Chain A
Amino acid sequence: DSGVTQTPKHLITATGQRVTLRCSPRSGDLSVYWYQQSLDQGLQFLIQYYNGEERAKGNILERFSAQQFPDLHSELNLSSLELGDSALYFCASSVGSLQGNGEQFFGPGTRLTVL
C-alpha cells in the first residue's frame, strides 16, 4: 500500500459527459501528479500541483482540468468526454516539488471507460 488513495476505482460513462477523479496523497506529501496510461501511449504526465498551486503541465487537454485543495487532496476533472479518453488515470505524490530523488508513490488508479 503506497498510502495514496484514489476514487473511484472504476468509472463508466458516455461520450460528452463530465467526470471527477479524486486523489488523496500520502500523509506529509505536498506534491500531487496526475498521469494517464493508455495501451498505445504508455504513462503520460498530465499535471502537477504543489501545496495548492499548479507547478507543471504536460500533455493535458483543454477539456481536462485539475486542482489541489487546502487539505492537499486533488481532483482531476474530465469534460466533453470522448472514446479516446478511456484509460487508466493515476495519481502520484511526493514530498516536495524539487526535493529528494524524484521518487513518486502511485495510487491504485481509476479506470475510465467512455462508451
Chain B
Amino acid sequence: TQLLEQSPQFLSIQEGENLTVYCNSSSVFSSLQWYRQEPGEGPVLLVTVVTGGEVKKLKRLTFQFGDARKDSSLHITAAQPGDTGLYLCAAPKRTSGSRLTFGEGTQLTVNP
C-alpha cells in the first residue's frame, strides 16, 4: 500500500510569513501532484512533478520533488489570506488504472 504522509496537518500563520508543507512516503513515485481545495469545492491541480530533484515555481509557491522521488515539499513565500485552503499531495497508482492516492492534507489558514 502506498501511503502519503503530509505534515503539518494544520498550520495557522500571519500574512507575510513563509511556510513549508511536506509530503513523504516510503514508495517511489513516477509523478506527484499538489492540489489546493477550498471548502465545498473540488481539488484544483497546482502542479505535477516528475523528475527527481525537480523544482517548479508558481508565483509565490515553490514545489520540489525529492531526488529519490519518495517525497515532495511545497514552500509558500509571503503568504496571503487568499492562500488559505487545504493543500493535498497525490500520486498515481499505475497498476490497473491510475487512481490517485491522496495524503490527508494540510489545512492552511493565513490570518490578515
A: which residues have CB within 8 A of B?
2, 4, 31, 33, 35, 42-43, 45, 48, 50, 55-56, 58, 88, 90, 92, 94, 97-98, 101-109, 111
Report if B68 contacts A (CB, 8 A).
Answer: no
List 7 additional contacts besides A33-B99, A101-B33; criterion CB under 8 Å.
Answer: A2-B44, A42-B105, A43-B88, A45-B100, A55-B96, A94-B98, A106-B42
Question: What number of residue pairs across chains A and B have CB atoms under 8 A from each other?
Answer: 77
For B42, what are the chain A residues with a Cβ–Cβ distance below 8 Å? 2, 4, 90, 92, 106-109
| Min CB–CB distance B99 → chain A (angstroms) | 4
Q: Which residue of A lies closest to B105 (CB)?
A: A42
Contacts of B54-112 to chain A: CB distance below 8 A: 88, 90-92, 94, 96-105
Q: A102-B31, A102-B91 are in contact. Are A108 and B41 (CB under 8 A)?
A: yes
B: which residues have CB within 8 A of A?
30-31, 33, 35, 40-45, 48, 50, 88, 90-92, 94, 96-105
- Which A-B residue pairs are the 4 nearest by beta carbons? A102-B92, A56-B97, A106-B42, A101-B31
How far, in angstroms, from A4 to B43 measured CA to CA in the complex? 12
| Min CB–CB distance A63 → chain B (angstroms) | 20
| Min CB–CB distance A96 → chain B (angstroms) | 8
A104 pairs with B48, CB closer than 8 A? no
For B94, what are the chain A residues with a Cβ–Cβ distance below 8 Å? 98, 102
How far, in angstroms, from A78 to B41 measured CA to CA in the complex? 21
| Min CB–CB distance A97 → chain B (angstroms) | 5
How far, in angstroms, from A35 to B37 measured CA to CA in the complex? 14
Question: Among the listed B30, B92, B104, which residue makes an inter-chain contact with A42, where contact means beta carbons less than 8 Å apart?
Answer: B104
For A98, what are the chain B residues with a Cβ–Cβ distance below 8 Å? 94, 97-98
Q: Which residue of B lies closest to A96 (CB)?
A: B98
| Min CB–CB distance B90 → chain A (angstroms) | 8
For B103, what are the chain A residues with a Cβ–Cβ distance below 8 Å? 42
Pull 29 A–B residue pairs with CB atoms less than 8 Å apart, ordered by A: A2-B44, A31-B97, A33-B100, A35-B100, A43-B43, A43-B88, A43-B90, A43-B100, A43-B102, A45-B100, A48-B98, A48-B99, A56-B96, A56-B99, A58-B99, A90-B42, A90-B43, A101-B31, A101-B50, A102-B31, A102-B91, A103-B45, A104-B33, A104-B45, A105-B45, A106-B43, A106-B45, A107-B42, A111-B40
